[in-house]
């Protein structure tokens, strides 16, 4: 059974999942800071040089977990089978948001990216608290 905070948490998860996937897709296609000269699987950050594929996998994985978890909450899927996914999705969102804020703070030109990252971090922490408080999924059965 879902709790009173299930709908806002589900909508937050869906919007963050879609937003993360959308922002990264646009950035991958348009950003002049990405060196794609050796192909997408060998793409590197043009300024600092690390491979981007592992980071992209983490970001798109987070987006997918958020979308599936949010959809499950909206559709009322059986909690025992997928409830763990909500906690994992929100945890990965908190981590990727916090980690990416370091990237923003290192280059003030990227400050606009900090707003959705801060929203993701705060929203994930609040949603995890609501989940643990039993307001998203009721922890006891009727």
Question: The domain containing residue 57 runs over which residues?
Answer: 6-132
The SS3 call for residue 35 is: strand
- Does 141 map to a domain? no
Q: Does residue 1 register a pLDDT over 70?
A: no
- Does 138 map to a domain? no
- Does 110 map to a domain? yes
Which H helix or E strand runs over 63?
Answer: helix 53-75
The SS3 call for residue 6 is: helix
> Rounded to 5 degrees, what are φ and ψ at 137?
-125, 125
Which H helix or E strand runs over 44?
Answer: strand 44-45
- Does 31 map to a domain? yes
- Does 140 map to a domain? no
Residue keyed to tokens 């370091």: 102
- Does 114 map to a domain? yes
- pTM score, two decimals? 0.87
Number of domains comprising the chain: 1
- Does 44 map to a domain? yes
Tell me the per-residue pLDDT of 70-111, one tens digit each, with 9 for 90 and over.
998 888 877 666 778 899 999 999 999 999 898 888 888 888
- Does 20 map to a domain? yes
Residue 8: other Cβ atoms inside 10 A: 16
Decide: 102 and 86 in contact? Cβ < 8 Å.
Answer: no
């Amino acid at each position: 059974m879902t709790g009173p905070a299930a709908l806002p948490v589900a909508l937050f998860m869906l919007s963050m999942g879609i937003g993360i996937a959308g922002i990264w897709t646009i950035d991958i296609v348009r950003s002049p800071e990405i060196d794609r000269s050796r192909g997408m699987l060998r793409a590197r950050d043009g300024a600092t040089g690390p491979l981007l594929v592992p980071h992209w996998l983490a970001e798109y994985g987070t987006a997918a977990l958020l979308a599936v978890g949010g959809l499950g909450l909206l559709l009322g899927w059986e909690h025992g089978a997928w409830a763990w996914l909500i906690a994992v999705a929100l945890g990965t969102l908190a981590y990727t948001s916090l980690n990416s804020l370091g990237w923003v703070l290192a280059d003030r030109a990227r400050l606009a990216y900090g707003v959705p990252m801060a929203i993701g971090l705060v929203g994930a922490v609040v949603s995890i608290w609501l989940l643990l408080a039993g307001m998203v999924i009721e922890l006891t059965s009727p």
